[in-house]
Amino acid sequence: MKNKKYFETNLKRWNELVDINLESEWYDFKGFLEGKESLLPIEIKELGDVNGKSLLHLQCHFGMDTLSWARKGAKVTGVDFSDKAIELAKQLSKELNIPAKFIQSNVYDKPNILKEKFDIVFTSYGVLCWLPDLVKWADVINYYLKPGGTFYIIEGHPFGSLIDEKFRKGFQVGYDYFTEGKPTQWDEDGTYGDPNAKLKHITNYQWDHTMSDIINALLSVNLEIEFFHEFPFTFHNLHPDLKRRDDGYWEFQNLEFSVPMMFSIKAQKKL
């Protein structure tokens, strides 16, 4: 497989991140155990009522958001390639007595192991940069949706990936927008959960996608886009000048101009 080396390297890092994220303030796992909502206000409002619907969560990490949809009445299945994350998600489902199915698989391998069709395919916050081929990803979404079913994504805006995180008091462009499918190698400690974490597996490979790549991938399969929204705030601390708001989103302080930092797309599979 073409990207095997990249996936293997990323998987080692993601397995290591599970315990770190579990302990982090960002995930507020203790709050979740006490019944606190892990989903953020926009996806709750934009995806709408999930009660009684079957929902497939792609790249579900250790399943907090998947289980939160289940708390709202959805019949949930979560998929992630991290065996550690899936093991923890299964354990949580059992301990909290929230019915859920969790499957360890690379997003691209799924059609071989899961044949069911879903009312909703959901994915969120930090997923696309791990995927080299968005047309293939859109194919997977299309495969799993029932006709008339809904796809929803909320994700960091590609504009945010241009921002040089070392530049203080505002921002300057530090990275290419057009990367032509080439992965970038990052060697970095820390995570969005805990920026100070020291890691054994610092190397990871990420793919930057343009906004048109994302939209065109979804249009290349049998999906009809209902809306595309952009937001001037985001879901994590990607720049030191961002501050977390009470509703969980991160916003630039005292920035002279507003810039797109996050987007959402809702689409339906054509009948």
Ligand X SMILES: C[S@@+](CC[C@H](N)C(=O)[O-])C[C@H]1O[C@@H](n2cnc3c(N)ncnc32)[C@H](O)[C@@H]1O
Residue ranges binding ligand X (CB under 6 A): 7, 10, 14, 59, 61, 64-65, 80-82, 85, 106-107, 124-127, 130
Shortest distance in whole angstroms from residue 245 CB to ligand X = 17
Q: 206, 118, 201, 219: which is closest to 156 by C-alpha?
A: 206
Distance separating alpha carbons of residues 258 and 243, to the nearest angstrom: 15
Shortest distance in whole angstroms from residue 198 CB to ligand X = 19
| Dihedral in degrees, nearest 10, Cα atoms 12, 144, 267, 160 | 10
Distance separating alpha carbons of residues 80 and 86, to the nearest angstrom: 7
Residue number of the CB closest to ligand X reads 126
Structure tokens at 218: 């979804």
Nearer of residues 18 and 218 to ligand X, judged by Cβ? 18
Nearer of residues 124 and 237 to ligand X, judged by Cβ? 124
Nearer of residues 167 and 231 to ligand X, judged by Cβ? 231
Residue 38: CA count within 13 A, CB half-sphere: 26
Shortest distance in whole angstroms from residue 80 CB to ligand X = 5
In three-state secondary structure terms, 95 is: helix
Shortest distance in whole angstroms from residue 256 CB to ligand X = 30
Nearer of residues 81 and 102 to ligand X, judged by Cβ? 81
Shortest distance in whole angstroms from residue 237 CB to ligand X = 13
Distance separating alpha carbons of residues 151 and 134, to the nearest angstrom: 14
Nearer of residues 107 and 199 to ligand X, judged by Cβ? 107
